[in-house]
Chains A and B, each alone.
Chain A
Amino acid sequence: MPKDNGIGASSKRREDVRFLTGAGRYTDDINIHGQAYAHFVRSDVAHGTINGIDASAAEAMPGVLKVFTATDFEGVGGIPCGWQVTDRHGEPMQEPKHPVLAEGKVRHVGDPIAVVVAESLGQARDAAEALEIDISELPAVMDMKDALTEGAAKVHDDLTSNLCYDWGFVEENREAVDDAINGAHHVTTLELRNNRLVANPMEPRVAVGDYSAADDEHTLYTTSQNPHVIRLLMGAFVLGIPEHKLRVVAPDVGGGFGAKIYHYAEEAFCTFAAKALRRPVKWTSSRSEAFMSDAHGRDHVTKIELAMDEQGKFLAIRTDTHANMGAYLSTFAPSIPTWLHGTLMAGNYTTPLIYVNVKAVFTNTVPVDAYRGAGRPEATFQLERVVDKAAREMGIDPIELRRRNFITEFPYATPVAVEYDTGDYNATMDKLLEISDHSGFEVRAAESKANGKLRGFGIAHYIEACGIAPSNLVGQLGARAGLYESATVRVNATGSISVFTGSHSHGQGHETTFAQVVAEMIGIDEGQVDIVHGDTSKTPMGMGTYGSRSLAVGGSAMVRATEKIINKARKIAAHLMEAAEADIELKDGQFTVAGTDKSVAWGDVTLAAYVPHNYPLEDIEPGLEETAFYDPANFTYPSGAYGCEVEVDPETGKVKVLGFAAADDFGNVVNPMIVEGQVQGGLAQGIGQALLENCAYDQDGQLISASYMDYAMPRADDLPMFTVDHSCVTPCTHNPLGVKGCGEAGAIGSPPALVNAVIDALQRGGHDVKHIDMPLSPDRVWTAMNG
């Protein structure tokens, strides 16, 4: 019988009560007495020299408090980058300054030039139109390969070129990989683009800065996935505010998908302006601004080569990728195409030799950074596409080819520097074939054919690295931060519990799942446990939520803190029952003495901790509150097999997704319903990327897909009913919960499965189409079919 409480229960998401009844408290719901409104004036050209800004007329407009430009920020730092990549030759990447407001040049459409702060938003917008900004347009740097040619226009005049870094991994393997490819029986080559995406969380970004002159304290309310990271980056590197004078609050946040990890200029601006004006300052992004100021995702152009022997055993992989950084380095941008991409290039396979080359390039576009999956979707897409193409070229069934090369013994050290602790890829493949009714496919394909349609089935098997990350390892790789997580467990006198976590929930359901874990450990009802997150004045220093890390890392910190609580409570219980501590057992919220009928309830022990009349004061302190910081020993490695069934209308090129099945191994699962929801959401975004979403610029650097009129988000009727399974379980071996993370899998595994399915359909229909770049819009599919 399914559990109805604790680990393994599909407890209903308690946070949904407020989200679904309009009672959520988002940043835009925060209005502080006397607040003024900021309107950002953004560049409408991709690249240009700022000759001058005349704000005199604007500043004279009604309600205007001040017009800010770069000169107001001369005394503060640029927006910092949190990761330094070292290139093939041992040199650090080129790292341009990212000013809060554009200095001298604008570098992408949307680059903020000036900010008008006024009594009302309407007044600020009116005044913005009176600003006189003189810009001489420069040639836009758009194509990554063109950007690296001799004599190309430069995005940053003070850099030697538009190349951020030329990264080789593993550099020592370069020649051995070349040799293996040159000598192989067969080499399959594929060139592809991983399309640029806009994250599009339902809630746009918002920032409210507040300043108390009486105690010199700053508060920033912001839509962030990691308020402590923002406090550190903005306080230490931009504005020079020490932590004890800076509070960052990220209240309810309506989705992030990566785009709300980074420290943005608008946050620094509102914090800075609140002190400068002695007024709270609020900025709320419009959807149009979000398209041109939220960090974008993906945008890789890749050539991948896979070398095989006669039996289809993979001998070597060589990849050559151009990764778009955009105009400036966003917080984690350099790490995405390198350490979150190159290290995953082994996939599920025993390929012994791998070499990954990545050239990161500056262009006159919005900065690019992590978006759900971050590097791992790019790795998985190229690998699972080239494997499918190789199967066709070798005349081997794509499922069989994968099985021949699966890693089957664990732990497994890949040639790209990571060690998979556990997995069972044949099990997930078997499960996928079962839940997708793969054996019935040919019958369904015949039915489609009779109706004049082309049906195809595509598979992808993915691996990802979650639970980011061991701090000492990422430090060696260039991270300028630790990636542990924290938790404080505060047990109240009557036994209820408040958990203060450094993780942040912006849709993941932490308030429910985290409570399930703590309740299970103690044996009390989940309703006795509340989760507090998102406020640096309440929670211990934590690194926040991204990379499917919250349960694996944040949950582990919470487990460690709860273990400390239980250890102390056992001492108290032993004292109360006059028994030896070693004999104390905790079950279902009762402490008992082994072999006796003595017991004392959880609430009696917690009360004793705060009313220590009968208490071992000589041995332990009163109170029951513990903090733990957890730094993982390794990444976690979720994996899974995804199957997509499509039907293509050969007359129009329209692809209909008929079915999608996902068999994941997430290790242990705390809340199956929430996990299923995470997978479904990830699948929707992955199918969105593969079929619909396309962030497109023209050659002048104008954003063509700048609104929902042209940027196609997936809607319910674009998606099939999903078949999701997570019954294949190989628990993570190195964290206390045995969990791996589930937030990104759907977005990682689904794009190659869908594209493989469409290629399969076209090939079955007699069209020798080998690849179509995403999104597989009807015109692209039709054009591919018709040469």
Chain B
Amino acid sequence: MYNFEFEKPGSVADAVAALGAEDAQALGGGQTLIPTLKQRLNQPSKLVSLSGIADMKGVSASGGMITIGGATTHATVAAEASAYPALAATAAHIGDPAVRNRGTIGGSLANNDPAACYPAALLGSGGSVKTDNRDIDADEYFQGMFSTALEEGEIITGVTFNIPEKANYQKFVQPASRFALVGVFVAKHADGVRVAITGASEDGVFRWSEAETALSSNFSAAALDGISVSADGMITDLHGTGAYRAHLLGILTKRAVAAAA
């Protein structure tokens, strides 16, 4: 780890100001950033912790939507997002207890790891990312592996999910990291079904539109028979080939449909 300045502002405005310094970086729960600092793979001039901003914490639901503060930990979402049980269940299976007690939803979405769970939940649910200066629609937010619509220094202050009629997240874990080898989030809304896949594609989280179409007309696992995703563009690594991931996402989508509640 290299030396850096540290600030822990109490308001979003102060955080934005602090992040104006050259090479300053926001620190959420630090579950990705701190290990990269320890390996000297990152050299910020200043870390701006977002964990002291009360306005960025907490869970609230109204009008068919649930809003989570950007600095809310996974453990808090798991415990308090009862208005959206599938989201609470997703949060409850991220990492391990230590990760869930430190890691935040804003940090996860800002990082957009291609095998993370929250990107699938947000893209699958539909909703928006609220930042210090705008709202970004979920469908516009994810722009490929580790890439998002966020500008330099922009802070995720909150995340809003549309609460569907039914939803379920199926996570097939990579045995070492226990990130998703493939994860599938299926949400049945009044106006149609959304299916978001994480862990599989070289382009990061994506919506499986063919499955969405089939499920929107018939929300049953059988509706997916004969539908598959090409292995092209799927991740091949130590833990699974692209062909395996393409197969797995089909199986997991069926299971998510069957389990959706």
Name A residues whose Cβ lies closer than 8 Å to a Cβ of B: 122, 125, 129, 288, 651-654, 692, 694, 696, 704-705, 708-713, 718, 777-779, 782-783, 786
Does B238 belong to the interface (CB within 8 Å)? Answer: yes
- Interface hit among B17-25, B99-107, B132-140, B169-177: B169-177
Bound-complex Cα distance A779 to B177 (A): 16
With both beta carbons as reference points, the residue of chain A lying nearest to B254 in the complex is identified as A651
Does B116 belong to the interface (CB within 8 Å)? Answer: no
Cross-chain contact of A712 among B172, B176, B241 (Cβ < 8 A): B176
Report yes or no: B244 in contact with A712, Cβ–Cβ below 8 A: no
A-B contact list, 25 entries, CB within 8 Å: A122-B1, A288-B39, A651-B251, A652-B248, A654-B172, A692-B175, A692-B176, A694-B238, A696-B238, A705-B176, A705-B238, A708-B177, A709-B176, A710-B176, A710-B238, A710-B239, A711-B176, A712-B175, A712-B176, A713-B176, A777-B240, A778-B172, A779-B239, A779-B240, A779-B241
With both beta carbons as reference points, the residue of chain B lying nearest to A128 in the complex is identified as B40
Binary flags per residue of B162-199, CB closer than 8 Å to A gives 1, else 0: 00000000001001110001000000000000000000
Query: What residues of chain B lie closer than 8 Å to A704, measured between beta carbons?
Result: 238
Query: What residues of chain A lie closer than 8 Å to B1, measured between beta carbons?
Result: 122
A760 to chain B, nearest CB (A): 22
Interface residues contributed by chain B, number (CB under 8 Å): 17
Cross-chain contact of B244 among A125, A708, A779 (Cβ < 8 A): A779
Report yes or no: B238 in contact with A778, Cβ–Cβ below 8 A: no
Bound-complex Cα distance A708 to B238 (A): 13
B236 to chain A, nearest CB (A): 10
With both beta carbons as reference points, the residue of chain B lying nearest to A710 in the complex is identified as B176
Report yes or no: A782 in contact with B247, Cβ–Cβ below 8 A: yes
With both beta carbons as reference points, the residue of chain A lying nearest to B40 in the complex is identified as A125
Query: What residues of chain A lie closer than 8 Å to B240, measured between beta carbons?
Result: 777-779
**For residues 225 through 261 of chain B, which have their beta carbon under 8 Å from a beta carbon of chain A?**
238-241, 243-244, 247-248, 251
Cross-chain contact of A782 among B176, B177, B239, B244 (Cβ < 8 A): B244
Query: What residues of chain A lie closer than 8 Å to B244, measured between beta carbons?
Result: 653, 778-779, 782-783
Q: Interface on chain A toward B: helix, strand, loop, or mixed SS?
A: loop
A696 to chain B, nearest CB (A): 6
Query: What residues of chain B lie closer than 8 Å to A777, measured between beta carbons?
Result: 175, 239-240
Query: What residues of chain A lie closer than 8 Å to B172, measured between beta carbons?
Result: 652, 654, 778
* Other contacts beyond A654-B172, A705-B176: 17, CB < 8 A: A122-B1, A652-B248, A694-B238, A696-B238, A708-B176, A709-B177, A710-B176, A710-B177, A711-B176, A718-B175, A778-B240, A779-B239, A779-B240, A779-B244, A782-B244, A782-B247, A786-B247
Name B residues whose Cβ lies closer than 8 Å to a Cβ of A: 1, 39-40, 172, 175-177, 181, 238-241, 243-244, 247-248, 251
B253 to chain A, nearest CB (A): 12
Bound-complex Cα distance A298 to B177 (A): 23
Q: Which of B172, B238, B240, B251 has the most CB of A within 10 A?
A: B238
Bound-complex Cα distance A296 to B95 (A): 28
Bound-complex Cα distance A288 to B35 (A): 12
A21 to chain B, nearest CB (A): 21
| Known interface pairs A651-B251, A652-B251; A783-B175 also in contact (CB < 8 Å) | no
Bound-complex Cα distance A779 to B236 (A): 11
Query: What residues of chain A lie closer than 8 Å to B243, measured between beta carbons?
Result: 783
List the 3 closest A-B pairs by CB distance, nearest first. A712-B176, A779-B240, A712-B175
B39 to chain A, nearest CB (A): 7
Bound-complex Cα distance A118 to B172 (A): 46
A407 to chain B, nearest CB (A): 38
B30 to chain A, nearest CB (A): 16
Bound-complex Cα distance A708 to B35 (A): 12
Bound-complex Cα distance A652 to B252 (A): 9
Bound-complex Cα distance A653 to B248 (A): 10
With both beta carbons as reference points, the residue of chain A lying nearest to B176 in the complex is identified as A712
Query: What residues of chain A lie closer than 8 Å to B175, measured between beta carbons?
Result: 692, 712, 718, 777
Query: What residues of chain B lie closer than 8 Å to A779, measured between beta carbons?
Result: 239-241, 244
Bound-complex Cα distance A653 to B241 (A): 13
Query: What residues of chain A lie closer than 8 Å to B238, measured between beta carbons?
Result: 694, 696, 704-705, 710
Bound-complex Cα distance A694 to B237 (A): 13
B183 to chain A, nearest CB (A): 13
Query: What residues of chain B lie closer than 8 Å to A710, measured between beta carbons?
Result: 176-177, 238-239
Bound-complex Cα distance A709 to B239 (A): 11
Query: What residues of chain B lie closer than 8 Å to A783, measured between beta carbons?
Result: 241, 243-244
Query: What residues of chain A lie closer than 8 Å to B177, measured between beta carbons?
Result: 708-710
Query: What residues of chain B lie closer than 8 Å to A654, measured between beta carbons?
Result: 172
Query: What residues of chain A lie closer than 8 Å to B40, measured between beta carbons?
Result: 125, 129
With both beta carbons as reference points, the residue of chain B lying nearest to A711 in the complex is identified as B176
Bound-complex Cα distance A652 to B175 (A): 14
Bound-complex Cα distance A786 to B248 (A): 13
A336 to chain B, nearest CB (A): 25
B32 to chain A, nearest CB (A): 11
Q: Which of A708, A711, A712 has the most CB of B within 10 A?
A: A712
Bound-complex Cα distance A711 to B175 (A): 8
Bound-complex Cα distance A777 to B177 (A): 14
Query: What residues of chain B lie closer than 8 Å to A708, measured between beta carbons?
Result: 176-177
Query: What residues of chain A lie closer than 8 Å to B241, measured between beta carbons?
Result: 779, 783
B174 to chain A, nearest CB (A): 8
With both beta carbons as reference points, the residue of chain A lying nearest to B250 in the complex is identified as A651
A717 to chain B, nearest CB (A): 10
B3 to chain A, nearest CB (A): 8
With both beta carbons as reference points, the residue of chain A lying nearest to B243 in the complex is identified as A783
Bound-complex Cα distance A718 to B241 (A): 22
Bound-complex Cα distance A705 to B238 (A): 8
Bound-complex Cα distance A609 to B1 (A): 60
Bound-complex Cα distance A712 to B145 (A): 23
Bound-complex Cα distance A56 to B172 (A): 51
Query: What residues of chain B lie closer than 8 Å to A122, measured between beta carbons?
Result: 1
A686 to chain B, nearest CB (A): 16
A705 to chain B, nearest CB (A): 6
Bound-complex Cα distance A18 to B238 (A): 40
Query: What residues of chain B lie closer than 8 Å to A711, measured between beta carbons?
Result: 176
Query: What residues of chain A lie closer than 8 Å to B39, measured between beta carbons?
Result: 288
Q: Which of B172, B176, B240 has the most CB of A within 10 A?
A: B176
A649 to chain B, nearest CB (A): 9
Bound-complex Cα distance A692 to B178 (A): 12
Query: What residues of chain B lie closer than 8 Å to A692, measured between beta carbons?
Result: 175-176
Bound-complex Cα distance A783 to B245 (A): 11
Query: What residues of chain A lie closer than 8 Å to B176, measured between beta carbons?
Result: 692, 705, 708-713
Bound-complex Cα distance A718 to B169 (A): 21
A514 to chain B, nearest CB (A): 37
Query: What residues of chain A lie closer than 8 Å to B247, measured between beta carbons?
Result: 782, 786
A784 to chain B, nearest CB (A): 11
Bound-complex Cα distance A514 to B240 (A): 47
Query: What residues of chain B lie closer than 8 Å to A653, measured between beta carbons?
Result: 244
Bound-complex Cα distance A351 to B247 (A): 45
Bound-complex Cα distance A465 to B143 (A): 58
Bound-complex Cα distance A710 to B1 (A): 22
With both beta carbons as reference points, the residue of chain A lying nearest to B245 in the complex is identified as A779
Bound-complex Cα distance A711 to B39 (A): 18
Query: What residues of chain B lie closer than 8 Å to A129, measured between beta carbons?
Result: 40
Bound-complex Cα distance A708 to B177 (A): 7
B92 to chain A, nearest CB (A): 15
Bound-complex Cα distance A708 to B241 (A): 20
B246 to chain A, nearest CB (A): 11
Bound-complex Cα distance A157 to B154 (A): 55
Bound-complex Cα distance A718 to B175 (A): 9
Query: What residues of chain A lie closer than 8 Å to B248, measured between beta carbons?
Result: 652
Bound-complex Cα distance A754 to B177 (A): 23
A148 to chain B, nearest CB (A): 26
Bound-complex Cα distance A558 to B24 (A): 63
Bound-complex Cα distance A129 to B92 (A): 41
Query: What residues of chain A lie closer than 8 Å to B239, measured between beta carbons?
Result: 710, 777, 779
B199 to chain A, nearest CB (A): 13
B177 to chain A, nearest CB (A): 4
With both beta carbons as reference points, the residue of chain A lying nearest to B1 in the complex is identified as A122
Bound-complex Cα distance A692 to B39 (A): 25
